[in-house]
Structure 1
Amino acid sequence: MGRVHSMFKKGFNVKFGDSLIYITSNKYPLSALGVNITEEKLRKILSSIKISDVVTKKEEKLLFYTINEIIDIDYKFIERIDLSFPKVKCKITDIKKSELYNALASIDFEEIIGIELDKNTLKYVDLLVNSDKKDLDTNKLIINFFVGRGKGLTPSGDDILIGFTAALIIFEKYKEWIFSLKQEVTTGKTTIISSSYLSSLLEGYVSEDFIELIKSLDYKKSILIEEAIEKVKAFGHTSGCDTLFGFILGLKFLINNLKN
C-alpha cells in the first residue's frame, strides 16, 4: 500500500515505503522514477486524487482510491524504456575537445543556477573539482555542504551532486566517491524526492533527457548538442541548470585527474 505524496500541474508522485513513482503524461520525457500515461488518463486522475489518498498495487495495476471512485493504471502492457547509463565512445582524454564540453563551458551558470556562488560556496566547488576523491573525510565534508542546500523539491546542491556524480559514473571512476554518497545522503538531510533521484543515480539510472545529454559526448553536430542541453535546462525551475553545472564540474574533475 502507498499514498499520493505530491501533486503538480504535469504529474504527481506516489510513495511506497521509501520509494517514489512519478507519474506524468507520455508527451513529457520519462523520469528515472517514472511511469508515463496518456494525457487523458493523467487529467482524470489529477482531477480526482488528493494528497495522502491510498494507492495499492494489485495484479500489475495501480489502484487509486479517491473520494468518488477507484481509478486504475494497468501497467502490464506499458512499454519498458531502458534508462540505464549509455555507453559512450568518448574517452577521458577526449572530453576537453568534445563539442558538448565546450558548449557547457560557454554557459554562464552563475546567472541561472539556484544556488549563490558566494565565497564559501566557491570554496566547496573548488574542493569538488580538485580534491582527492579517495579521501573519504573530504568527500563527507563536500557532500554534507551540498546536500539539501537550496530551495525546492530537489534542492540545488543535490542537483549539483547528481550532475557531478553522473560524469564519474559514465567513465566508471572513483568508487570511493560513490560509496561516500551512499553513506551520507539520507532523507533526513534532504527531501524524499531528491533522495529518490540520488538513489536511482547510484543504481545506474537517470532521466530520458539526461541519457540524451550523455550520448551527446559523442556528437559532432552542434544543433543536436544544443537541443540536448536545452531539454535538460527545461527541467524544474533551476533543477536542470543545477544538474548541468554539476555535470561540467564532474567533467573538469576528470580532466584534471587524467594522470590518475
Structure 2
Amino acid sequence: MKSNLLLHTCGDRKTVGRVHSVFARGFNIEFPTQLLYVGGDDAPLSAFGLALPVARLRELLAGVRVGDLVVLKAQQLFIYGHDAVMSIDLAELPTVDLSVPAVACGIDAIAASEVYRQLDALGLERSIGLKVGHGFSDADREHLALLCEADKADFAANSRVVAYFAGRGQGLTPSGDDLLLGFTFALMLFGRYADWNRAVAAGVTPKTTTAISVAYVQAMLMGYVAEHLAALAALIDGGDARAVRQCVDAVTQFGHTSGVDTLFGFFLGLKFLTRSF
C-alpha cells in the first residue's frame, strides 16, 4: 500500500535521496522536498509512507543503513545498500486515500460526538510527553491557555504559540510538535483558521524541529494525515462507542507518547472550536 500523497511527490522524474533513519519496524528516506517512510503492512500507513509485507520489510531492514543512496525513477525505488541494490516497485502497491476527510458534523454538534466524549474522559493531559518527569511548567500552562483561547486570526499570537511548542520535548517527533499537529488537524476538519495554518507552516521548520516532524506537518497542511488519524476523524460523524474506542486505542499506541500527544492536541482543537462557536 502507499499513501496517495506519494502520487504528487514521487512522479516519473529521477530523484536522488538518502536513507535518513532506520528503526526496528521501518525506515525513512529523505528526498530534496519530501520524506518517505517505508513500513510494514501490520501498522497504520503514514501520510507520506508506503507499507510492505512484513517479511519483505525485514529483508530490506537487514540491508539498509543510514546514509545509503536511494534513487527514485519511473515509480521504481532503488536502495543502494552495502551488500546489494534493493528495489521497490511503487506502481505495484495499491493506493490508499489519506486525504483529510470531509466531515458533516457541525461545530455545534462536536461536544455531543462519541469521539469528543471519549477523548474528554481519558484525561490525556496526565500522560503527554511534555509532562514526563516534571509536570506542566508555568510557561507550559501559559501557552496552552493561549493555544486554546487566543484569536486564531491573530498571526502574532499564533506565531508565539507555535514558536513555543515547535521542537519542545524529546524524540523523533517532539511532544510539542505532535500537540500542534493534533490541534491543527481538528481545525482543518472544519475548514477554518487559515492564519493559524500559516503560522504553523512558518514555525515548524528544519530550523526548529526534526525532519520527521516537519514531514508530518507539511503533509497535513497539504491535506494528508496518517491512516489512524483519518479513521478517527471520520468517526466524528457518528462512530459507535466500540469503534471509537478501538481507534483511539490504536492512536495511543503510536510511538512512545506521540499518539497521546497528538490526541491531546486534537482534543484541545475540538474544545477550542466548541468554545468559539
**TM norm structure 1:** 0.97
Q: Which amino acid aligns with 2:87?
A: D
Q: Distance between the aligned counterparts of 2:20 and 2:181, measured in 1?
A: 22
Deviation per residue, 1:92-135 (Å, 9 max, x gap)? 00001111111101112232110022222011111111000111
CA-CA distance at 1:219 after TM superposition: 2.4
Quote the Cα distance in structure 2 between the aligned partners of 1:15 and 1:203: 18
Distance in 2 between residues matched to 1:53 and 1:188, nearest whole Å: 24
Contact map agreement 2:29 2:36 (CA 8 A) in 1: yes
Task: Identify the residue that residue 89 of structure 1 maps to in structure 2.
Answer: 104
Structure 2 match to 1:35: 50
Q: Which residue is equivalent to 2:5?
A: none
1:212 aligns to what?
231
The counterpart of 1:198, out of the listed 213, 217, 235, is: 217
TM (norm. structure 2) is 0.91
Output one character per residue of 1:32-59: Cα deviation in whole Å (capped at 9) or x when no partner.
Answer: 0101111121111100111101110123
Task: Please tell me the residue identity of whatever aligns with 2:34.
Answer: S
The residue type equivalent to 1:20 in the other structure is: L
Separation (CA, whole Å) in 2 of partners of 1:23 and 1:216: 27
Any gaps of 5 or more consecutive residues in structure 1?
none
**Which residue of structure 1 lines up, in the alignment, with residue 249 of structure 2?**
230
Distance 2:137 2:105 in 1: 33
For 1:105, the equivalent position in structure 2 comes to 120
CA distance in 2, matches of 1:238, 1:46: 24
Residue 141 of structure 1 corresponds to 160
1:119-168 Cα deviation digits (max 9, x unpaired): 22011111111000111111111000000000000000000000000010
**How many percent of aligned residue pairs carry the same amino acid?**
40
Q: Report matched runs for 1:121-136 at 5 Å.
A: 121-136=140-155
Counterpart AA for 2:74: E
User: Which range moves more in the overlay, 179-188 or 200-209?
Assistant: 179-188
Q: CA deviation at 1:14?
A: 0.5
Q: Aligned partners of 1:127, 1:57: CA distance in 2, in Å?
A: 43
SS state of the match for residue 76, structure 1? helix
Question: Is 1:14 aligned with 2:29?
Answer: yes
> Distance in 2 between the 1:202 and 1:136 partners?
17
Alpha-carbon distance between aligned partners in 1 of 2:241 and 2:250, rounded to the nearest angstrom: 14
Conserved 8 A contact 2:125-2:264: no
How many corresponding residue pairs?
Answer: 258
Q: Does residue 158 of the first structure (1) align with residue 177 of the second (2)? A: yes
8 Å Cα contact 1:168-1:174 kept in structure 2: yes
Cα distance in 2 between the residues matched to 1:36 and 1:225: 24
Unpaired stretches in structure 2, ≥5 consecutive residues:
1-15
Question: How far apart, in 2, do the equivalents of 1:251 and 1:75 lie?
Answer: 36
SS at match of 2:43: coil
SS in 2 for 1:27: coil
Greater CA drift, 236-245 or 86-95: 86-95
Secondary structure of 2:51 counterpart:
strand
Q: Deviations over 1:193-247 (max 9, x none)?
A: 0001000010010000001110111224211110110111111000000000000
